[in-house]
Amino acid sequence: MGLDKAIDLFIILCNYLGNATELMSINYLNIEVAMPILIKIYKIFMNNVSILQTLLLVVLRLWIARVFFLSGLVKISDFSNTIALFKDEYNVPFIPPIFAAVSATTFELLCPVLLVIGLASRLSTLPLLAMTAVIQFTYDQNIQHAYWAMILTTILAFGPGKLSVDNFIYNKFSK
């Protein structure tokens, strides 16, 4: 059902319920008749709003992918400087600086590509969430990292949405 049908059902419901003064009388409101109409209106509303979820997940994937991919490009453009930063500036715990530089650069270049196309999206969020946490707690305390974490967690929790390779694979092979 489309939005026109929802509007028609809403008009029928309003006509059935009457005007505001009649609504004050609880005896006038027949919930058995009104509730199925309200449920139909709600279902139509939810079907139309679900399109927004798909669009929102695409926007979130593209936005966070851009953030990390650009950072990866900066790292790889002068990798000797990147290694020096990981040795002298970043203080990454438990990981040797060269390994941290290589893995951070790799994840920042690979995971965003996977997020953009929507392939292994939930898995791709995990290294980016870990990197965000390490950056926040060891190097630069910034509110922006909380936003990154919220976006990545949203993708982790809800998946990449209908416009993704993950969704295509799921629909193709889950039958």
CA–CA dist 79, 87 (Å, integer): 12
Buried b (16+ CB within 10 A) or exposed e, 110-120: bbbebbbbbbb
Q: Is the pLDDT of residue 28 over 70?
A: no
Identify which of 127, 169, 117 has the alpha carbon closest to the alpha carbon of residue 152. Answer: 127
**Contact present, 68 and 111 (Cβ < 8 Å):** yes
Q: How many helices (H) and strands (E) does the chain have?
A: 8, 0
Q: Is the pLDDT of residue 24 over 70?
A: no
Residue 74 pLDDT: 97
pLDDT tens digit string along 68-112? 999 999 999 999 999 999 999 888 888 999 999 999 999 999 999
Residue 38 pLDDT: 82
pLDDT tens digit string along 116-153? 999 999 999 999 999 999 999 988 899 999 999 999 99
pTM of this structure? 0.76
Q: How confident is the model at residue 30 (pLDDT cuts 50, 70, 90)?
A: low
Residue 160 — φ and ψ, nearest 5°? -85, -10
Residue 73 pLDDT: 98
For 70, other C-beta atoms within 10 Å of its C-beta total 12
For 65, other C-beta atoms within 10 Å of its C-beta total 21
DSSP classification of residue 23? H
Q: How confident is the model at residue 21 (pLDDT cuts 50, 70, 90)?
A: very low
Contacts of 124 (CB under 8 A, 6+ apart): 110, 111, 112, 114, 115
pLDDT tens digit string along 38-51? 888 888 888 888 88
Q: Is the pLDDT of residue 56 over 70?
A: yes
